[in-house]
Amino acid sequence: MIELGKIQKLEVIRKTEVGVYLNSKDNKDKHDVLLPKKQVPQEVEIGDEIEVFVYKDSKDRMISSVKKPKLTVGEIAALKVAEVTKIGAFLDWGLEKDLFLPFREQLGVVVKGGTYLVGLYVDKSNRLCATMKTNKLLGTEMPPYKQNDRVQGTIHRISKELGVFVVLDNKYIGLIPNKELYGKYNEGDSIEVRIKRINEDGKLELSLRNEAYNEIEGDAQKILEKLKLKGGVLLINDSSSPDRIKAELSMSKAAFKRAVGRLLKEGAIRITDKGIEMMW
């Protein structure tokens, strides 16, 4: 059957001046779906299959497109607001007709030009709509990742108490704890994360950093560069608080201690009562 809001392969049933009409190959639907002429592949014939996305045009008619939207039904993606009206917002999702985000599906203030994380669903009127209430669309099965996998994600929510929640592969959600968070980020930003831990309940702990043994070289270099900028002296050591180390070097206290150990072993620094000094 033809599925609204999904990418699927449909068969060319007939050709007309306005385009070709498509239908499902094995289970013919009552109504064929138009693929506009400007999107019809060259030399296509009746019986050929074309991969398309099915949605509704401005007149609420089923229509197809060979263009791939930025999300399909059940998925989540960060979309930019093209227009805000009295009935809701319209989002750019890569198709001719913008995607409607009703007021009832919005969280907070939505402004033109802003980027927001939304999901795609079919409403009670059988129309495609966006929602910012994305929790109901997130996958509940065990995530398909392994520890230390690198995965692309989108920032879903920022919590001052917990950290940053990230949606992975438009389906699964994980948390970057505050202790693993470095730099400034905004909701809707695209970031690459490392799967640090997969709990038995499927919850994911994420990190922006590489595995510890791969980070030592970079962290050690960062400390040396900071020492040079500070005249060879840094007033932090093992007794300094994690917040102080993070503010000074943008790294965790554990990473700082590993890097300092490496630099001590190489004779590049020495420990003093007040901090660390560079061995010129």
Give the pLDDT confidence score for residue 211 in this predicted structure: 60
Top-tier CATH class for 212-278: mainly alpha
pLDDT, position 86: 92
Do the domains 212-278 and 150-207 match in fold? Answer: no
Report whether pLDDT(88) > 80. yes
Residue bearing the bigger pLDDT, 190 or 279 = 190
* pLDDT, average across residues 189-205: 86
Q: Is 82 exposed, middle or buried (0-12, 13-18, 19+ CB in 10 A)?
A: middle
Tens of pLDDT, residues 115-165: 888 999 999 999 999 999 887 777 667 888 998 898 998 888 888 888 888
Share above pLDDT 90 across residues of the chain, in percent, rounded to a whole number: 38
- Determine the pLDDT at residue 135: 76
Please give the pLDDT value at position 140. Answer: 67
Domain ranges of the chain: 7-65, 76-136, 150-207, 212-278
* 40-65: pLDDT as tens digits: 999 999 999 999 999 998 888 999 99
Mean pLDDT lowest among 83-87, 108-112, 246-250: 246-250
- Predicted pLDDT at 58: 83
Give me the CATH topology for the region 7-65: OB fold (Dihydrolipoamide Acetyltransferase, E2P) (2.40.50)
Asked if the model's pLDDT at residue 238 lies above 70, the reply is: yes
Of 140 and 103, which is predicted with more confidence?
Answer: 103
CATH number for the domain whose boundaries are 150-207: 2.40.50.140
What's the pLDDT score for residue 51?
A: 96
pLDDT over 80 (residue 222): yes
The pLDDT assigned to 182 comes to 67
Q: Which of 113-117, 184-188, 237-241, 245-249 has the lowest mean pLDDT?
A: 184-188
Average pLDDT, the chain: 87
Is the domain spanning 76-136 CATH 2.40.50.140? The answer is: yes
